[in-house]
Each structure stands twice: as structure tokens, then as C-alpha cells.
Amino acid sequence: MLRSPRLICTTLLLAAPRHRCSPSSQNVLQLQSAFSVRTSRHARVPCISQTKPGRLGPAPPSSLALASCAELASRKYTLIYAFPAIKGLRALSRLKLIQTGITVVLLPAVGYFYLQGHASAAVLSYTTGIAVFAAAMLYVISHYIRRVVGMMYLDHTCTTLKVSHLSFWGNRRDVYLPVCDVMTLGDAGDSPGESILRLKRYSSSDTLYFSTRLGRVVDKQGFEKVFGTLS
């Protein structure tokens, strides 16, 4: 099984330069307050049936899907994992958006001056190269930053995992996953001592990445109900 890309590891290390990230209790409380999460502890409800790869059923009607999303969002969740450096990644993502926007705006202006004879071909080529490079870097950086998990929450019934990560535009995106569809660390082929761990599902090939060494497991008991033991 393939390991996580090196760029993911580099991204996390740049965002959290310390080998072990141990934010204070006050910082964790601030993160919880910012996302308006109310904490609670309950025993895990056993999963009756486990979703297997390639065995997805038909998509529900849109009205039912909207009702389901609203119901999931209204539940009470407990913060079980936090990666405080996600704020730095968000700033980096938006900075690349601004840089790309500036270069895209300048390119037509330089092209106009070139047609009017006020700019040389070298200046036009240089500006075009910068614009293309900025767009490519925006895509690459955003592609990997979107795969980094910022926070994870477990609902009060311990049946739904809420995963927060960044969108392409640097905004927060919440994904709700059935706990019984989330692979444990052992099933994903990872060991608890590794720096970068994978969040994988039985029903999908999509992979997100998190780190218990660069991030922080806030609720160890709840975390182990989802991913298995950390010892």
C-alpha cells in the first residue's frame, strides 16, 4: 500500500515546525469556542453493517439529503483532534489566491502595453511565465492543503465523525462520515507511531491526512473509538 505523499509531510512540518505540537489547554478551548462545539462523552454504538468498497447504494433524493445534512449539523459534537497550524495553511492558501489574482490581472495590462509598443516582448514573456507559474503553484499547494485535516469531532452517539479541512478557496469545509465507514489505523496500514496518518474510508478511495505528533489528540478515548488504540 502506498504511503502518504512526501509533499503532505513537508506541508505539515512547515505549518508546525516543532516535532511535537502541544498546544496549551487555553488554545484548545479557543479552538473549540471558535467552532462552537459543545463537548460530551458517550459509549460507542456498535455498527450494524459496514459499508464495503464498490457497494454504494443509489443517491438519496435531494430533499432527503438536505434534511440529513441539517440533522447531522445540529448534533452535539466533541472535539477529539486538533491541528492548530491549520490557520497557517489557511493563510498560505489565501495568499496564493491573492498572488495568482494579481498576476492574472497584470497579464492583460502588460499585453495591452506590448501591443501599443510600450512594453518589450521580454517583459510580456516574463509576465506570462510568472502568471503560469503562480497558477500552477496555486493548484499544487491547494491540492495538498485540502487533504490536511484541521479538526475532527465525534457526535454524542459516537456514530458520526465530523472532519474539518480547507476548501480550494481556503474556507472551512465540514464532512460527516459514519464511524463504521472510517478505517482504523491498522486497516489503513498505518501504525500509531508514524508522523503522518491517513484517514481512509471503506466506501471511497479519497484520502485525508493528519498527525498525532504534529497535532493534538484532545479526547483520546473518543479518538480510539474511531481509529483504534494509540498504544
Q: What's the pTM value of the predicted model, to 2 decimals?
A: 0.66
Q: Are 96 and 134 in contact (CB under 8 A)?
A: yes
Distance between CA atoms of residues 153 and 39, nearest Å:
9
Closest CA to 182 of 201, 166, 196: 201
| 172 three-state secondary structure | strand
* pLDDT tens, per residue, the chain with 231 residues: 444 556 565 555 555 544 443 444 444 444 444 443 333 333 333 333 333 333 333 444 444 444 467 777 778 899 999 998 898 998 888 888 888 888 888 888 888 888 988 888 888 898 888 888 888 888 888 888 999 999 999 998 889 999 999 988 888 999 999 999 999 999 998 888 888 999 999 988 889 999 988 899 999 999 999 998 887
Angle at 163 between CA 161 and CA 169, to 5 degrees: 160
Q: Please state the domain extents for the chain.
A: 89-144
Distance between CA atoms of residues 109 and 124, nearest Å:
10
